[in-house]
Amino acid sequence: MKIVLLGAPGAGKGTQAKALSEKLSIPHISTGDIFRANIKGNTPLGIKAKGYIDKGELVPDELTVEIVKDRLANPDCEKGFILDGFPRTIPQAEYLDKVLNNMKIDLDATLLINVDDKDIIERMSGRRTCPNCGASYHVVFNPTKVEGVCDVCSTPVIQRPDDAAETVLNRLETYHKQTQPLISYYEKAGKLKVAQGADEVDETTARVFKALGI
């Protein structure tokens, strides 16, 4: 399946993408994870992206779209993919339509994971992520099996720098202004599915699978 995940920062896109990737054996592509890997590696892209990410703003479209195009051309995407955090603006969505059109593939669905702003703020403050493999946890809602250590690769987990309280508010504002218009964009295209994301992780996963008919 070819799936786009939409939702506010902290809605659980990364968490549900992981479940979908395991269930469907297709890659999870997160532009946020790609940027963070570039920041860690101090690449020219990482250096440019860091300034925007740390402020809770979007990285400019021209720095973002090429990465996704290259990633989708990888043979592991032939069976399908889960795009998490892309597209995030109308121009990015139009660009994606063009790229997929050229590749002669069609999106199966855009799934919106719906969570209220007040729940988002609580989630972000407790989030811990693995700087090595990108796995995401929550100190209360989704803890690591061994405290402070990634379940997948045993690396010590960290708090993401953009999860600082002021940055979270900015990210939410950016989401409402720039990304929320994609909901009606995909609704008009007849691609939109919605899953409520306020309940616990497993319950949300069940809803996500149901909304996608898998």
| Residues labelled as active-site residues | 13, 88, 127, 160, 171
Q: Decide: is 95 part of the binding site for ligand AP5 (CB under 6 A).
A: no
d(C-alpha 113, C-alpha 6), whole Å: 6
**Contacts with Zn ion in 101-140 (CB under 5 A)?**
130, 132-133, 135
Task: Answer with the entry of Mg ion, Zn ion, ligand AP5, none that 141 interacts with (C-beta below 5 to 8 A by kind).
Answer: ligand AP5
**Contacts with Mg ion in 13-72 (CB under 5 A)?**
14
Tell me if 121 sits within 8 A of 38, measured CB to CB.
Answer: no
Smallest gap from Cβ 170 to ligand AP5, in A, equals 9
Q: Decide: is 150 part of the binding site for Zn ion (CB under 5 A).
A: yes
Enter the DSSP assignment of 148: T
Options 47, 73, 140, 152; binder of Zn ion; rule CB under 5 A: 152
Angle at 26 between CA 195 and CA 155, to 5 degrees: 90
Structure tokens at 82: 């889960």
Q: How many CA atoms lie within 13 A of 90 on its CB side?
A: 9
What is the distance between the terminal CA atoms of the chain, rounded to a whole angstrom?
Answer: 10
Q: Decide: is 10 part of the binding site for Mg ion (CB under 5 A).
A: no
Task: Answer with the entry of ligand AP5, Zn ion, Mg ion, none that 138 interacts with (C-beta below 5 to 8 A by kind).
Answer: ligand AP5
d(C-alpha 63, C-alpha 33), whole Å: 14
Task: Answer with the entry of Zn ion, Mg ion, ligand AP5, none that 10 interacts with (C-beta below 5 to 8 A by kind).
Answer: ligand AP5
Q: At what angle do helices 31-40 and 44-55 cross, to 10 degrees?
A: 120
Closer residue to ligand AP5 (CB): 122 or 187: 122
Binding footprint of Mg ion on the chain (CB under 5 A): 14
